[in-house]
Amino acid sequence: MFFLIFQDLLTMKEKDKIRLDKFGAHLARLREEKGLSQRALSARCEVDFAKISKLENGKANLVVTTLVELAEGLGVHPRDLLDLDWL
């Protein structure tokens, strides 16, 4: 029983990592399409460039307020940041 629970947790962690990686790649793509560096995006919103780097590399999760700040900095609607294939 313990093994099955542990295996489910591991699978959940793997899914989370895949989702963070997908979001990070999408964020980087949108930023690059706007011709912005991570520092330039950071200057346009209230998100530190180190946090942007971690997000783009799938090393950090984000909260709704960060999502909104990034969208404002990119000049897009927050839904555009979430418009990707999550499955």
Higher pLDDT among residues 16 and 35, named by residue: 35
**Averaged pLDDT, 8-25:** 81
- Residues 51 and 60 sit within 8 Å (Cβ to Cβ): yes
26 found inside a domain: yes
Whichever domain contains 59, its CATH number is 1.10.260.40
What is the per-residue pLDDT across 19-56, written as a single tens digit (0 to 9) for each?
A: 999 999 999 999 999 999 999 999 999 999 999 999 99
Domain count, the chain: 1
- Residue 13's alpha-carbon distances to 19, 21, 26, 28, in angstroms, are 10, 12, 20, 22
- Please give the Cα distance from 30 to 48 (Å, whole number): 17
First to last CA, the chain: 28
Can you give the pTM of this predicted structure?
Answer: 0.84
In a domain, 74, yes or no: yes
